[in-house]
Amino acid sequence: MSLARRIAALFRTKVGKALDRAEDPREVLDYSYDKQLEMLQQVRRGVADVATSRKRVEMQLAQLGRSADTLQGQAQQAVAVGREDLAREALTRRTAVLAQRGELQAQETSLQAEEEKLTLAAQRLQTKVDAFRTRKETIKASYTAAEAETHISEAVTGISEEMGDVGMAMQRAQDKTEQMQARAGALDELLASGALEDATSPVAHDDLQSRLDAITAGGEVEAELARMKAELPATSAAPSPQDETAERSGPEQEATP
């Protein structure tokens, strides 16, 4: 195959694909149906024309029949009055009229046969057009339903893809939220343990401050304990170790001479 033929074949293929994408089968079916209706109308006009011609021939035949009858009467009248020449002329004219009438009768027969043939063709074509119309509407309905189903499927597919993206985005947001919550919890634990200073506190606590706070708390405890002892009754106060020693040494000193 030459290069020119390959290019032509490729061009036809591309054009065919482009036309196939741009072509709507429903429009093609409607166009074909309109063309068939035009053909049917042409056949019907043909039948009407043939019928009109046949009717005109019938009228001419009737007129020729009346002329032949008139000439026949004139010939008889001429014979009655002894005018054979007039009778002969009338008969001659009648013969010509009858010959013309025979030709018209043959034409009438031909036109009648043509009319019957066209009428039968019109009936057959009408049947085909009606069947095509029914089939056309069925195909159009099926195509419309398929087109709607395709659009719905495409929309559902798009929604599914979009929902997949939304689901991924929601999962990422949830993961980030959990990470932020874990980080906040870890920071709270570090602040509570003292491993991390609280920058919002007005005074930063270091190790020295912690020990000073402990000493202060211990002094407060001892002061409170002393106050509680001072509030006890004198009789119920327990003797101290020095008092017990003095009581034991007193009697011994008095017994010595």
Task: Write the pLDDT tens digit of every residue in 73-86.
Answer: 988 888 888 888 88
Per-residue pLDDT at 101 exceeds 60 = yes
- pLDDT: which is higher, 232 or 22: 232
Structure tokens given for 69: 């009858």
End-to-end CA distance of the chain: 160
Q: How far apart are CA 147 and CA 139, in angstroms?
A: 12
CATH 3.90.1720 for domain 11-161, yes or no, is no
- pLDDT: which is higher, 3 or 91: 91
What pLDDT was estimated at residue 253?
45
Amino acid symbol at 134: T
Per-residue pLDDT at 204 exceeds 50 = no
Q: What percent of the chain has pLDDT over 90?
A: 10
Q: What is the mean pLDDT of residues 60-79?
A: 89
Do 40 and 122 contact (CB within 8 A), yes or no?
yes
By the 10 Å C-beta count (0-12 exposed, 13-18 middle, 19+ buried), 125 is classed as middle
Question: CB under 8 Å to 76, separation ≥6 — which residues?
Answer: 87
Where are the chain's structural domains? 11-161
> % helix / strand / coil in the chain, to the nearest 5?
90, 0, 10
What pLDDT was estimated at residue 127?
92
- pLDDT: which is higher, 170 or 66: 66
Indicate the range of 25-29, 68-72, 108-112, 155-159 predicted with least confidence.
155-159
- pLDDT: which is higher, 248 or 188: 188
What pLDDT was estimated at residue 2?
61
Q: What is the mean pLDDT of residues 142-146?
A: 85
- pLDDT: which is higher, 140 or 245: 140
Do 78 and 132 contact (CB within 8 A), yes or no?
no
**Phi-psi bin for 206: left (phi > 0), alpha (psi -120 to 50), beta?**
beta
Q: What is the mean pLDDT of residues 189-199?
A: 61
Entry pTM: 0.47
What pLDDT was estimated at residue 201?
53
